[in-house]
């Protein structure tokens, strides 16, 4: 049997590294894994011996940093999301803690669609004024995509990832369709608002013109006498029209896009 090398477990080691610093993977788990390889190998690679003999968490992380080959993949971060799902599903962590753990993956390689979901569960995110219970359900639904990943099936991760990719593409397509419908409805509403503004503007201009014409006629007919009350009445009427015109100019905000 050929002795395994660190390069044979690149994805698993990346997950160990990500998991250790987030307290999702314990030092004992990594050491036990290294010990199993040492016991089953006649001449184990020194890397596994180093892991087994590490005395602190920092030392263990340092060894991993020195030996993990550089390989960019979506799988490690998705496995971490799967671990977070398991803890949240079984009630071992709270929603707030789970959302913060998800947010820590913002700099990890993932699709832009996945990254868009990292912010909407935070307490300070204006998530459509939804309650914490609703946000927690949404987080469960998001993390459910990664539920098949765990530390004990790492040889299956590439196959699992193919299924996850399909789910993510379908979710992204669904969101785009919803946003398209929102945008279409919004554009229709904006056109109605624009037409209303134009009508009110025309009424305002016509009212001012009527006010001026009426004033001229009254002045001419009465020689400038006893027209104060008439002006007051006309002024109130025109003021009301103009205020309705300005009120109609206030546009509502466009609805937020679905994530």
User: What was the pLDDT predicted at 239?
Assistant: 60
User: What was the pLDDT predicted at 220?
Assistant: 66
User: What was the pLDDT predicted at 251?
Assistant: 46
Q: Digits of tens for pLDDT over the chain (259 positions)?
A: 578 898 899 999 999 999 999 999 999 999 999 999 999 988 999 999 999 999 999 999 999 999 887 778 999 999 999 999 999 999 999 999 999 999 999 999 999 999 988 876 666 555 556 778 888 888 999 999 999 999 999 999 999 999 999 999 999 998 888 877 667 666 777 777 777 777 777 776 776 667 667 666 765 666 655 555 555 555 655 666 666 655 555 544 444 455 5
DSSP 121: T
For residue 107 the two structure tokens come to: 């700099």
For 248-252, which contacts have Cβ atoms below 8 Å and span 24 or more sequence positions? 248/193, 248/196, 248/197, 248/200, 249/197, 249/200, 251/190, 251/193, 252/189, 252/193
User: Is the Cβ–Cβ distance between 83 and 100 less than 8 Å?
Assistant: no
Cα first-last separation, the chain:
49
For residue 232 the two structure tokens come to: 């007051």
In order of 60, 74, 171, 175, the CA distances from 111 in angstroms are: 30, 8, 12, 15
User: Is the Cβ–Cβ distance between 161 and 78 less than 8 Å?
Assistant: yes
157-222 and 228-248 helices, crossing angle to 10°: 170
Number of CB atoms found within 10 A of residue 9's CB: 21
Closest CA to 109 of 68, 79, 143, 154: 79
Can you tell me the distance from the alpha carbon of 90 to that of 100, in angstroms, rounded to the nearest whole number? Answer: 17
């Amino acid at each position: 049997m050929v002795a395994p090398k660190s390069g044979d477990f690149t994805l698993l080691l990346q997950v160990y590294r990500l998991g250790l610093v987030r307290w999702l993977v314990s030092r004992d788990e990594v050491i036990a894994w290294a010990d199993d390889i040492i016991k089953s190998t006649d001449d184990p690679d020194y890397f596994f011996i180093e892991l087994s003999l590490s005395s602190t968490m920092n030392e263990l992380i340092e060894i991993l940093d020195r030996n993990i080959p550089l390989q960019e993949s979506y799988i490690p971060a998705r496995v971490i999301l799967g671990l977070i799902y398991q803890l949240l599903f079984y009630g071992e962590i709270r929603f707030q803690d789970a959302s913060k753990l998800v947010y820590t993956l913002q700099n990890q390689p993932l699709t832009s669609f996945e990254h868009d979901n990292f912010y909407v569960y935070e307490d300070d995110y204006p998530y459509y004024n939804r309650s914490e219970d609703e946000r927690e359900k949404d987080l469960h639904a998001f993390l459910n995509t990664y539920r098949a990943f765990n530390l004990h099936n790492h040889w299956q991760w590439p196959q699992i990832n193919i299924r996850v990719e399909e789910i993510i593409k379908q979710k992204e397509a669904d969101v785009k369709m919803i946003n398209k419908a929102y945008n279409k409805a919004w554009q229709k509403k904006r056109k109605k608002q624009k037409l209303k503004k134009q009508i009110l503007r025309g009424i305002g201009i016509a009212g001012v013109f009527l006010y001026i014409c009426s004033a001229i006629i009254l002045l001419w007919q009465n020689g400038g006498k006893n027209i104060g009350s008439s002006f007051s009445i006309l002024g109130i009427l025109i003021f009301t029209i103009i205020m309705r015109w300005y009120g109609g100019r206030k546009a509502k905000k466009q609805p937020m896009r679905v994530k």
